[in-house]
Amino acid sequence: MSTTATGQPGTEEPEHKPKFTFPSALTILAIVTVAVWLLAFLIPSGAYDRNDKGAPVEGSYHRVDSGQSFVDRLNDLFLAPVNGLYGIQDEKSGVVGPDMAGELYGSAGVFLFVLAIGAFITVVFATGALDRGIGRLAHRLGGRGAMLIAGVMVVFSVLGTVEGFAEETLGFYGLIVPLMLALGYDRMVAVGAIILGAGIGVLCSTVNPFATGVASSAADISLGDGIVLRFVMWVVLTAVTIAYVIRYAKRVQKNPARSLSGFLPGDREQTASDAGEVPELTRLHKAVLVLVALVFAFMIFSVVPWSSALTGKADATPYGFELGWSFPQLAALFLVAAALVGCVARMGEQKLSSTIIQGAADFISPALVIVLARGVTVIMNNSKVTDTVLHSIEGVVKGTSSGLFAIIVFVVNLPLAFLIPSTSGHATLAMPILAPLADFAGVSRSVVVTAWQAASGWMNLWVPTTAVTIGGVALAKVGYDKYLRFVWPLLAILFVLICVFVALGAALT
């Protein structure tokens, strides 16, 4: 005789089928790695001849033997995470491996940067200053959270369009996520404000030397060519994106049940909109908060190429005050800052050491995600199939009308942007092939630059091969599947707007 869970006879207990759980970011990238590795067996290996600058020469594509045996390819798959961390690219062959001699190809700098950020943020939270400061700020803003979201997104968008501010945003999740929760929003609002704010700026780069600058140089045009079109795009697309995030934020604030990301234990308790008295900041708390603000302000100052941004010239001579820092220096900055905050807060050696270690440990997951994403590009590089993809694009865009040509350039660059999430690497490979094709279509080369960077930027808003997106959702503790549900309507809107802008730009040239 069957019984129910309460012991009553007559009914059978229903079977509970396990629900499908979307894989973690690490699993997704592992699947992508294997898929790209398998595709490399099907895509013929090939190469373009290179000029003195290392750029491919149009019409010079030819099939080549990758020189890889099955064992070599298997070794690339096996070592993908290792190469993604500290793989070295050989100067002569271009092959990436851990025992090569040449330039660092892996993401060791970004990896350590994320761990250093984790240590710094954890030390700051351990002082109690950030929690209390967020509470005071949320209490003062009250119902003006939309202004805060817009302000954050505008700042990130400006930095993105001027100097390609993207990976650097990984350091802001520890500040923005608690603030958005304190204002009654969810973690998705923080993700949208950071990823989409900076991402839309990079998508509409105006004088960004790492995207527009590299692409313009490869296309043999000035960085200022096409800046009017890109500026108008930036204004319109930034406004649309901000409105999209604010609309979602207001919906969640009004009805938390409509949150796409949901809430983790303790998230709702951080809401301070109805709070009465908020504890005052002590002098020590104020000192820590001032130090935090100075550290982030200095980080931004240290990475901006001021001469290129202010003059509009990609090859402008750096000003004397420019630091030109990158991830190794930024990692050192945040490690030193973590120790300095601990000293200011009088934490003591034992507590400070253990807090730094705990902070780095908490951020190991997003750091590993970044490494795996880089490992995918290593497989593409070593199997020599990237130029074959470029060659197929070369055949597609020839012989079309100007408006259609611009749209095709945008569309055909989308899969390439997935394979090469690095904007500078994508530009270096693609632009010398695509830019000369614009001459045959009667289109300004600047339109090709705009269409290319829009494709790169659009893809980098969501693809799992970019550290900005996959690392960001991991830092915010938001499921990647949930982020896709949140962002796909905006992606469709942006796709249409980009096609309209590049088509009009081509028609007016």
pLDDT digits (tens, 9 = 90+) for 239-254: 999 999 999 999 998 9
Residue 423 has pLDDT above 80, yes or no: no
Average pLDDT over residues 206-234: 80
* 59 Cβ contact list (under 8 Å, min separation 6): none
Mean pLDDT, range 140-152, rounded to an integer? 79
Helix and strand tally (H, E) in the chain?
Answer: 22, 5
Mean pLDDT, residues 213-225 taken together:
76
CB atoms near residue 384 (< 10 Å): 23
- What is the predicted pLDDT for the residue at 380? 83
| pLDDT tens column, 365-402 | 878 877 887 888 788 889 988 778 777 776 666 667 78
> Which is nearest to 198 in space by CA: 233, 234, 228?
234
User: Dihedral sign, CA of 84, 55, 449, 59?
Assistant: negative
**pLDDT of residue 166 exceeding 90:** no
Please report the pLDDT score of residue 128 as a whole number: 83
Stated as kind and residue range, the H or E segment containing 102 is strand 102-104
Residue 152 vs residue 21, higher pLDDT: 152
* pLDDT (average), residues 254-262: 89
Phi, psi (degrees; rounded to nearest 5) at 64? -135, 160
Residue 271: per-residue pLDDT: 57
Distance CA 367, CA 461 (A): 19
Given a cut of 50, whether residue 275 has pLDDT beyond it is no
Q: How confident is residue 173, by pLDDT bands cut at 50, 70 and 90?
A: confident
Quick one: residue 80, left, alpha or beta (phi over 0 = left, psi -120 to 50 = alpha)?
alpha
Q: What DSSP character marks residue 431?
A: H
pLDDT of residue 454: 94
Q: What per-residue confidence (pLDDT) applies to 307?
A: 79
Asked if the model's pLDDT at residue 220 lies above 60, the reply is yes
Alpha carbon 119 to its chain's center: 21
Q: How confident is the model at residue 262 (pLDDT cuts 50, 70, 90)?
A: confident
Q: How far apart, in whole angstroms, are the C-alpha atoms of residue 405 and residue 394? A: 12
Q: What angle do CA 475, 368, 371 make, to 5 degrees?
A: 115
| Mean pLDDT of the residues in the chain | 82
CA distance readout (Å), 357 to 42, 107, 116, 242, 291? 45, 21, 10, 37, 21
**Worst-scoring range by mean pLDDT, 121-125, 224-228, 282-286?**
224-228
pLDDT tens readout for residues 53-93: 555 676 788 898 888 899 999 999 999 999 989 999 988 88
Average pLDDT over residues 98-120: 86
> Rounded to the nearest 10 degrees, how much is the dihedral formed by the CA atoms of 490, 470, 214, 442?
-40
Portion of the chain with pLDDT greater than 90, in percent:
26
From 77, 69, 27, 74, select the one nearest 45 (Cα to Cα): 69
Confidence at 8, pLDDT banded by 50, 70, 90:
very low
User: 481-499, pLDDT tens digit by residue?
Assistant: 999 999 999 999 999 999 9
pLDDT at 315 over 60: yes
Nearest to residue 248, comparing CAs of 238, 258, 234, 262?
258
Is residue 1 scored above 50 in pLDDT?
no
Q: Which pLDDT score is estimated for 19?
A: 63
- What is the reported pLDDT for 273? 45
